[in-house]
Each structure stands twice: as structure tokens, then as C-alpha cells.
């Protein structure tokens, strides 16, 4: 055989070997993809990182408290994480939100929270919106049909709307069992309380305070007080409450004056709050309760059309009540310091008349928006600023912020101690020292996080509703390991009682 022929045979052999190697690699890759459960622990397979290009934390960020919540197999490297979504073991039939492709029903087994919701009569929830149940019988008639979003009862606007978290969470649970509604599967309603890790109390307490607090003639108590008393009696009579002493119950009290007469009696439950300003620490605290955002009043600016540094001529913006009670006295001090300063808009304003539209225009024209403590540490103003992509300046030493364990507010907010803010020249010098490059970095981050503060129906992955459920999941992980000793005997009696039935 000639040298030329030998060379041709060698080249053909090498070509065949390369093709064979590539085929084996493709086959092994496909095998790994379709049988990943075999190679990896199932909890690890069920956690999917969707986008790691921008994260809740800009540094080595997941706190020890969050890490201890996660199971060992669920603990992730400390890196920037955009969002987490749960998928089915059969990923071919599920989309990225954990919803079945054929009928959109959530798989209960893949939900982070299984939620049992009490069937309270309409007077506690949608009845306060003027909704009336159909003339049927049974508890099914106590809830509106939520399958068509355009026909869902509307929550009242104005200042009522800022405390409407109770409405959005209840709607989300009702829709979790509706096949036609596409939503995240973070929380799913279950019908048996023994299967639940959270028990939800659907009482619109903020709306009840706003609408039913007046005591009418010939009555000793307001309707709001009467409803609170009914809720307390109902809960304390339930086996679900007695099982863990209410520790697995979620009670909605977003308005700072809601649940005034009931909060101490229900203090073992987990409250959904705006802040801890009017709560003693033994009733509400950061260890057990969930801080949630206000529903912003101004419209969200689209990220593509959001004005940048040069298009925002106002340096500092504040519009609201200036004369407040003791906790908000700093507003008046700042007003006296900043009024008349170049680039500062500091004025009295309200939501009445054109107040909302005026605030929306002002925030969209400003680089920094002041969020100053008022009667309580928090206010809706912070979330209006976020929706306007106006960098918030938080002057409230006692404020607690929503999902702060997974969201780094320092990447898009400026924090100033109250005592330092009232030093002459300090605040303006600080803000004027933030150059365009640094401000733009914070502005870009604002546009990224805005979705986490959007309440909507149906809910979407990582919007306000979904983020709240995720926060609840992080809080309730230790419920079953922190039951007081006195409840062991009660739980034993309940178990034996159920067995006899």
C-alpha cells in the first residue's frame, strides 16, 4: 500500500472517531438532562436559577437567618440571584412558574406554602366591598368567582388602596385552584388544614378600620370592633388554632390602627404589617411577623421611558403632611432647614383633588425623594418613589422594610440617620455629592426591583404578592419546632379525639 493510501485511511479513521465521540457526548448530555433526578438530590433539582445577571444582594449577601431556613440541600452559593422558581419533577409538562402546561393548575407538592384558608362569611372580606353572594347554600357561596379578572370585586381607591394587601393575598389564594388562571405556585390553597403549613385568616381588617370604626347612635361598639371580637372567638375555638397555639396562622393588619382590640389576644399569630410602629415587641416583632409594602398610589413609570439624571431638574422632593405627632416631628425641622434651598421642593400636599397626579409629576422630575418618618416609621411615599424611579432617601431610624433579608435596599436607597439629617447643610451636601454615575447606578437598580412592589391580579412571579408568600415561607419554617410545651398535651388530646371519630 502506498504512503498516500495509508494517509487517507488514517484521516478517515480519525474522522470516524471524532464523529463517534460527538455522538456519545450528545447522548450522555441528553441522558443527564432527562434523568437529572438520578444524579442530583431532588430538592436541588427542584430549585432553578432563572437569571443570575442581577441579584437581590450585591455582595456576599444571603444572611445566616436565611441560610438556616433552607434545608442543607437547598442552600445555594452566595451569589447574585434574580429569582427562584419551583418546577415540577416532570419539567416537560410545566412552565417556569411551576404551572402545568395543559390546565395551568399548580402542583401542591411543589408549592413552597400549602395554605388552608378559613371560610369566613362575606362580612369579613368581600362583603365590605359591596359584593353579595349568590342565593345558594353552603360556604361556596361566600366567595366571588375569580376566574374572570375583569369581574372580580374592586377594592376602593384613594388612601384605602395603600393598605390593600389583604385583598390581593385573598384573591391569589382563591385563584390558586382555578385552572384558567396562570399564576406563580409559591402558595397554593389546600382544603384540609392538616396538610397546611400556614392557616390564612381572610379578614379585611384595614378596610374594616377605614369604613367601620365609627360608633353609631344607640350602639356601644363599632362594626369594626364587633368583627374583631367575632374573629377572636372564632379562632380561639378552632382546633387549627389550638394545634400550635395560633403560631401557624397568618393575620392581616396592614393599617397601623387595624386589629386594635384583637392584636394582643392573637399575638401568637404571624401578622402581616406595614411596620412595628404601634406594636409592643411582645405582640409583633421582626422574628415572627412579615413586613409588606404599601400599594403605591402613583402609576409606575415604564423602565424604557423613565427620565434619567439630566431629565430630572429637581434635586430633592417631598410633598405631604409636614406637622406630625412626636414620631414625625423631624419633618417640621427638615422643612425649616430646606425651604428656599435651590433644587428643593418641600411642600404640604394631600391625595385630595389633584394631589396624586401632582406627586407623580414631581417625583418623576426629581433625582431624590425624601421618605421621612411620620406618625409611624413607614409611609406609602417610599413605594411611590420606587414606582417613579426617584432614588429614595430614607430618614426613619425605626423603619423595617419588606423582604429586606433578600433585597439589598442600599443598592437603590440612601439612608440618613434622623439626628444627622437635621444638621445644617448635611443632607444637601450628601445628596449633591452623589454624582451622575453613582445616581444612574441606583436608578438602574430601581428599575430592576420595581416589579417586587407591584400588586396585581393575577399575580406574577416575583411581584409583591409572590414576594410576600416567599417571605411568609421563610418565616414559618420553624413553627413545628418551636411549639411551647403546654401545647404538647393539647395536641395529643386532639389527635386521640380525631382517632376516635
Q: 484: pLDDT confidence band, cut at 50, 70 and 90?
A: low
Q: Please list the residues that pair with 415 across neighbouring strands.
A: 394
Max mean pLDDT among 40-49, 196-205, 346-355 falls in 196-205
498 exposure class (CB count in 10 Å sphere: 0-12, 13-18, 19+): exposed
- The domain spans of the chain are 113-295+457-500, 314-453
Q: What is the rounded distance in angstroms from the CA atom of residue 307 to the CA atom of residue 390?
A: 9
More confident residue, 392 or 36: 392
Q: 437: pLDDT confidence band, cut at 50, 70 and 90?
A: very high
Q: 480: pLDDT confidence band, cut at 50, 70 and 90?
A: low
Question: Which residue, among 115, 125, 55, has the nearest Cα to 84 in the 3D structure?
Answer: 55
487 exposure class (CB count in 10 Å sphere: 0-12, 13-18, 19+): middle
What are φ and ψ of residue 281, in 5° steps?
-65, -25
What are φ and ψ of residue 231, in 5° steps?
-60, -45
Q: What is the pLDDT of residue 108?
A: 87
Q: What is the pLDDT of residue 136?
A: 54
Contact by Cβ (8 Å): 466, 186: yes
Q: HSE-up of 193 (CA within 13 Å, CB side)?
A: 16
Max mean pLDDT among 29-43, 192-206, 480-494 falls in 192-206
Evaluated on CA atoms 176, 179, 184, 190, the torsion sign reads positive
Ramachandran area for residue 224 (φ above 0: left; ψ -120 to 50: alpha; else beta): alpha
Evaluated on CA atoms 93, 95, 100, 104, the torsion sign reads negative
Q: Could you tell me the CA-to-CA distances from 229 to 165, 205, 222, 259, 399 in Å, in that order?
A: 22, 12, 11, 10, 30
Check pLDDT > 80 for residue 485: no
Give the model confidence (pLDDT) of 161-210 as tens digits.
999 999 999 999 999 999 999 999 999 999 999 999 999 999 999 999 99
Q: What is the pLDDT of residue 77?
A: 31
Evaluated on CA atoms 185, 187, 193, 197, the torsion sign reads positive
Give the model confidence (pLDDT) of 381-415 as tens digits.
999 999 999 999 999 999 999 999 999 999 999 99
Question: Which residue, among 194, 171, 313, has the nearest Cα to 248 in the 3D structure?
Answer: 194
Q: What is the rounded distance in angstroms from the CA atom of residue 430 to the CA atom of residue 421?
A: 10
Residue 81 C-alpha from the chain's centroid = 17
Q: What is the rounded distance in angstroms from the CA atom of residue 383 to the CA atom of residue 296?
A: 5
Give the model confidence (pLDDT) of 246-261 as tens digits.
999 999 999 999 999 9
Residue 275 C-alpha from the chain's centroid = 14
Strands 198-201 and 187-190: unpaired
**Average pLDDT of the segment spanning 143-156:** 93
Q: What pTM did the predictor assign? A: 0.77
Question: Which residue, among 101, 81, 93, has the nearest Cα to 449 in the 3D structure?
Answer: 81
Check pLDDT > 60 for residue 447: yes
More confident residue, 452 or 497: 452
Q: What is the rounded distance in angstroms from the CA atom of residue 293 to the CA atom of residue 471?
A: 12
Domain 314-453 has CATH 3.30.70.2190: no
Helix 464-476, helix 165-175: angle, nearest 10: 80
Neighbouring CB atoms inside 10 A of 260's CB total 17
133 three-state secondary structure: coil
Q: What is the rounded distance in angstroms from the CA atom of residue 106 to the CA atom of residue 120?
A: 24
Q: What is the rounded distance in angstroms from the CA atom of residue 141 to the CA atom of residue 144?
A: 7
Q: What angle do CA 88, 470, 113 make, to 5 degrees?
A: 55
Contact by Cβ (8 Å): 399, 420: no
Check pLDDT > 70 for residue 310: yes
Q: What is the pLDDT of residue 142?
A: 87
Check pLDDT > 90 for residue 438: yes
What does the CA dihedral 33, 38, 39, 45 come to, rounded to 10 degrees?
Answer: 70
Check pLDDT > 50 for residue 46: no
Q: Could you tell me the CA-to-CA distances from 230 to 166, 256, 293 in Å, in that order?
A: 18, 20, 28
What are φ and ψ of residue 147, in 5° steps?
-70, -25
Check pLDDT > 50 for residue 455: yes
Check pLDDT > 50 for residue 90: no
Contact by Cβ (8 Å): 121, 127: yes
Check pLDDT > 70 for residue 351: no
More confident residue, 39 or 280: 280
Amino acid at each position: 500500500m502506498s504512503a498516500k493510501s495509508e494517509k487517507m485511511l488514517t484521516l478517515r479513521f480519525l474522522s470516524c472517531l471524532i464523529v463517534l465521540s460527538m455522538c456519545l457526548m450528545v447522548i450522555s448530555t441528553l441522558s443527564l438532562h432527562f434523568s437529572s433526578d438520578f444524579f442530583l438530590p431532588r430538592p436541588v433539582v427542584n430549585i432553578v436559577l432563572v437569571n443570575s445577571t442581577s441579584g437581590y444582594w450585591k455582595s456576599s449577601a444571603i444572611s445566616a437567618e436565611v441560610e438556616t431556613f433552607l434545608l442543607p440541600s437547598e442552600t445555594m452559593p452566595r451569589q447574585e440571584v434574580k429569582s427562584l422558581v419551583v418546577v415540577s419533577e416532570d419539567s416537560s409538562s410545566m412552565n417556569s412558574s411551576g404551572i402545568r402546561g395543559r390546565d395551568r393548575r399548580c402542583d401542591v407538592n411543589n408549592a413552597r406554602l400549602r395554605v388552608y384558608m378559613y371560610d369566613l362569611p362575606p362580612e369579613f372580606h368581600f362583603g365590605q366591598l359591596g359584593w353579595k353572594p349568590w342565593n345558594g347554600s353552603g360556604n361556596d357561596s361566600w366567595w366571588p368567582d375569580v376566574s374572570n379578572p375583569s369581574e372580580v370585586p374592586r377594592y376602593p381607591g384613594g388612601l384605602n388602596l395603600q393598605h390593600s394587601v389583604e385583598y390581593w393575598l385573598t384573591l391569589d389564594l382563591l385563584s390558586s385552584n382555578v385552572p384558567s388562571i396562570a399564576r406563580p405556585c409559591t402558595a397554593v390553597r389546600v382544603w384540609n388544614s392538616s396538610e397546611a403549613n400556614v392557616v390564612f385568616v381572610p379578614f379585611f381588617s384595614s378596610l374594616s378600620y377605614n369604613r367601620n370604626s365609627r360608633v353609631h347612635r344607640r350602639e356601644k361598639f363599632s362594626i369594626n370592633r364587633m368583627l374583631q371580637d367575632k374573629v377572636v372567638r372564632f379562632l380561639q375555638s378552632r382546633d387549627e388554632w389550638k394545634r400550635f397555639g395560633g403560631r401557624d396562622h397568618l393575620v392581616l393588619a396592614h393599617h397601623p390602627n387595624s386589629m386594635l382590640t384583637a392584636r394582643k389576644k392573637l399575638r401568637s399569630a404571624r401578622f402581616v404589617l406595614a411596620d412595628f410602629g404601634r406594636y409592643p415587641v411582645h405582640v409583633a416583632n421582626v422574628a415572627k411577623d412579615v413586613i409588606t409594602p404599601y400599594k403605591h398610589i402613583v402609576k409606575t413609570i415604564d423602565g424604557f421611558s423613565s427620565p434619567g439624571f439630566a431629565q430630572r431638574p429637581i434635586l430633592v422632593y417631598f410633598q405631604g403632611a409636614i406637622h406630625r405627632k412626636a414620631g414625625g416631628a423631624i419633618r417640621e425641622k427638615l422643612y425649616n432647614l430646606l425651604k428656599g434651598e435651590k433644587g428643593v421642593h418641600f411642600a404640604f400636599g394631600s391625595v385630595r383633588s389633584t394631589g396624586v397626579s401632582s406627586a407623580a409629576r414631581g417625583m418623576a422630575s426629581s433625582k431624590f425623594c425624601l421618605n421621612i418618618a411620620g406618625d409611624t416609621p413607614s409611609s406609602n411615599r417610599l413605594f411611590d418613589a420606587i414606582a417613579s424611579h426617584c432614588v429614595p432617601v430614607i430618614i426613619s431610624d425605626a423603619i423595617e422594610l419588606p423582604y429586606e433579608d433578600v433585597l439589598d435596599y442600599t443598592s437603590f436607597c440612601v439612608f440618613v440617620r434622623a439626628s444627622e439629617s437635621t444638621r445644617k447643610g448635611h443632607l444637601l451636601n450628601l445628596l449633591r455629592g452623589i454624582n451622575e454615575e453613582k445616581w444612574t447606578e441606583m436608578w438602574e437598580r430601581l428599575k430592576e426591583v420595581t416589579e417586587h412592589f407591584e400588586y396585581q391580579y393575577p399575580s406574577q412571579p416575583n411581584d409583591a404578592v409572590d414576594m410576600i408568600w416567599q417571605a411568609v415561607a421563610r418565616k414559618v419554617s420553624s413553627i413545628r419546632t418551636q411549639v411551647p410545651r403546654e401545647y404538647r398535651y393539647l395536641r395529643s388530646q386532639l389527635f386521640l379525639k380525631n382517632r376516635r371519630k
